[in-house]
Chains A and B, each alone.
Chain A
Amino acid sequence: MGATHYTRTAVALHWLIAGLIIAALFMGWTMTGMAISPQRLKAYNYHKWVGVTVLLLAILRVAWRLKQPAPPLLPMPVLQRFAAHAGHLLLYLLMLVMPVTGWVYSNAAGYPVVYLGRFPLPNLVGRDHALALQWVRVHHVLAFVFAAVIIGHILAALYHHLVMRDGTLRRMLTWRRPDAAVAAGEN
């Protein structure tokens, strides 16, 4: 099919999810140190809403990617190719797993997740203090893993752009209808 660009849907989802993940990480970082207050409660709720939104968008994005495969990587050494695929796979996994670990932790701590304060999500586990302590640990550790992988992703993109001077970063910044999609009759 010879697609060389990402679809606009893929580009939009990439940047939307990127912004939300960074917001969630930042909120997670600050809210845990807050004193008990309505502000803290709100911060936790908003953090959960952002997390659930990331989960929903990530599911959408994976589904879209299966329907509209990403363009192949630009020419690069085998090791870099492997690192790129591994890194992307890790990012997708974390996008899906990270919100669920928070959801489990919240339920175990006795708090159902009510998306946007209106849509109650099912409880994945019952209230269990010991379980909550385990899952909050998992959630915290994964947050650092996630942050590290994102930093790696950004550095790799900059390396492609500034050192290799190829089109890797540019094609995720290009907002245009890809040729392949046009050929396939997408509108």
Chain B
Amino acid sequence: MRTGMKIMAPALMLVSGILMAAPLSVGPATKSTLTATFRQEGVPVESPFTRFSGQIEYDARNPAAASATIEVDMSSFDIGDPAYNDEVARKSWFDSRTYPKAVFKSTSTRPLAANRFEATGQLTLKGHVVPLTVPVTASATAAGTAFDGSFQISRKAFGIGDPTWESVLEDKVTVKFHLVGGR
């Protein structure tokens, strides 16, 4: 009986979580991850944002109604070395003192398959607002509904870059996310 409850409880929570479609909170606390991969002289460097948060509304029966708002603390980008993290906070890069947060806010969702949809919205970063369409795969995991995907952006479209680095740093940056919805 007890073991039965132990197994049932998370399963019920999972099912109700998907059915009720109340907003899901995502962030590092829910084992979510968010990384950006930039390329220097052909070397891909994938680094995490360690602080971000967001709300996702998602109903598996009606994915077209899904919506999401994700906020990223730009000073939490961790390249792995304090000197580089300081460099990336500078004006020509993230200027994270002036623009501490990047925000993605979805405006519409288009279902692609049973568990896949395309979220279109706006990414606000360093004072620039750029439209963005992101493919998302939703899956039920033990920890909650997980949303996975990646997309490429042009850093220059957001005014990120320093002319002296142009010859070694590529414009395209790949953002990868694994967002697990908790409550």
Q: Which residues of A contact B (CB under 8 A)?
A: 36-38, 41-42, 45, 109-114, 117-118, 120, 127, 129, 132
Interface-forming stretch among B95-103, B112-120, B162-170?
B162-170
On whether the beta carbons of A45 and B83 are closer than 8 Å, the reply is no
What's the count of A-B pairs with C-beta under 8 Å?
43
A111 to B45, CA, bound (A): 6
Nearest CB in chain A to that of B46: its residue: A110
On whether the beta carbons of B79 and A112 are closer than 8 Å, the reply is no
Q: Which residues on the A side are within 8 Å of B45 (C-beta)?
A: 110-112
B80: interface (CB < 8 Å): yes
Known A36-B84, A127-B80; contact A118-B168, beta-carbon cutoff 8 A: no
Q: Which residues on the A side are within 8 Å of B42 (C-beta)?
A: 114, 117-118
Known A109-B80, A110-B79; contact A36-B43, beta-carbon cutoff 8 A: no
Contact pick for A36, options B44, B47, B87, B168, CB 8 Å: B87
On whether the beta carbons of A45 and B41 are closer than 8 Å, the reply is yes
Nearest CB in chain A to that of B39: its residue: A114
Nearest CB in chain A to that of B87: its residue: A36
On whether the beta carbons of B80 and A110 are closer than 8 Å, the reply is yes
Nearest 3 A/B pairs, CB to CB:
A117-B42, A110-B80, A38-B168
Q: Which residues on the B side are within 8 Å of A36 (C-beta)?
A: 83-84, 87
